[in-house]
Chain A
Amino acid sequence: MAPATLTSKRFTAHDEADAIEQAFAKGWSDGLPVVPPTEARVRAMLDAARLQPGHQVAFIRDRAVAVTAEKVAINAVMAGCRPEYMPVVVAAVEAIGDPRWSYHGPGTSTGGAGVLMIVNGPIARELDINAGDNLFGPGWRSNLTIGRAVRLVMRNVIGSLPGLLDRGTLGHPGKLSYVIAENEAESPWAPLHVERGFRPEQSVVTVIASDAPHQFYNQLSPGAEGILTTLADDMRISGTVMGQSTYVVVLAGEHMRTIAASGWDKKRIRQFLFEKTHNSYAHLKRTQRMSGEIAPGDEQKMRPLVASPDDILVVAAGGRAGAFSCYIPGWGSAKSSQATSKEVKR
């Protein structure tokens, strides 16, 4: 059977350099040079994911846009992906098209969400998706190009152009690419995808509409409680504070080992952080985060940072050395966008 025709409009360029300049001129780029999307490169991308060009990867309801495999492949080429990355890009695009992720809000909001993608399972190792030193970059092709491909799909296919339909007030560097893997090889804990109902041998991408990472420091504590007390104190006033959706807590090597040596699992970490990040109504009103005058009892009346301990996702990742870890506030409220996981199909 002859391969299905690629239906995208074609442009000619004198050479690769001219094609790169044309991509800038046509508004296809995120600001960095792109790899020119030739038919051979696009077909290699589709073949690696075993997808027909017309396959609908996602339908973005609010924009009434069908995202086809052909368009995802073109943007993945432009981002600099290797063909074997394509299944991960496809799974991430499926996830942002899921009604639970609710594209319109995080794609458009002045809150400036990035698409944090956490990759679990064997594909993370196969593709060398970084889970260690310099976790958020730079240095790893898969981390930087997979996220870039998803953002190019958002821009070029779905129409989330910065300054037009993407109205992020500040944005953040993670909006270029925001991909990490969990350090499953060294983690003492159940990986994120297993906690979310998948089997360990499945490969899964979890997407979370997210602020930038906030690093915290604790070189003092010999055990879990001290480190997590520092973390909770940093987290307690972060994000929008009121009605936060999700937090991702990324525990790097030293903290991971110290907390695990205290015998704490992810569930206990979540429970502790949930309990220690409540704010009093009085404080929220005094600092102009909650409306209204301070009423009797407001000093004792407490509001949790997230609705439930399960809204704190704990991930083991980051360099082996250094008394640093981080937390990442999710965008918006729980009603606005939920963390969404999709299996990587191969």
Chain B
Amino acid sequence: MIEILDPTTEAAAAQSIAWAPRPTALQGKRVALIQNTKFNSDQLLRRIGDILKAEYGVAEWKMYDKHNASVPAHAEIIEEIKKSADVMVAGIGD
């Protein structure tokens, strides 16, 4: 018999992600759209924003741009979104 060691990252038992509470309805909510700046991603998100407004009754939507597609959203826009939005949609349009 031989013993071998696990090469993977083993998740700590207590580790959890603190999800923000999910809204039960979108009626009257303010929506932030985060676009990754790839070609056409703004168009895709704009269409999503319009659908959320027309069909789900969101109050408004506003678009925020990441610095580029390969980096996480930067602190400034996250802080701004925390203050000014209830719901956020992030995605890519390639």
A and B interact physically: yes
Q: Which residues of A contact B (CB under 8 A)?
A: 6, 8-16, 19, 22-23, 28, 36-39, 42, 61-62, 65, 70-71, 74-75, 78, 102, 104-106, 109-110, 152, 156-159, 291, 332-333, 335-337
Chain A: interface secondary structure? Answer: mixed
Contact segment of B18-26, B47-55, B64-72, B76-84: B64-72
Partner of A104, one of B3, B8, B71: B71
Residue of A nearest to B37 (CB): A335
Residue of A nearest to B17 (CB): A64
A333 to chain B: which residues have CB within 8 Å?
Answer: 68
Chain B: interface secondary structure? Answer: loop
A23 to chain B: which residues have CB within 8 Å?
Answer: 4
Residue of A nearest to B94 (CB): A110
B67 to chain A: which residues have CB within 8 Å?
Answer: 335
Partner of A159, one of B1, B4, B9: B9
Partner of A37, one of B7, B69, B72, B94: B7
Bound state CA distance, A278 and B31, in angstroms? 42
Contact present for B5 and A10 (CB under 8 Å): yes
Q: Show 25 A/B contacts (Cβ-Cβ < 8 Å), sorted by A.
A: A6-B5, A8-B6, A9-B5, A9-B6, A10-B5, A11-B3, A13-B1, A13-B2, A13-B3, A15-B2, A37-B5, A39-B5, A74-B5, A74-B7, A75-B7, A78-B7, A102-B71, A104-B71, A105-B69, A105-B70, A109-B70, A157-B7, A157-B8, A159-B9, A335-B71
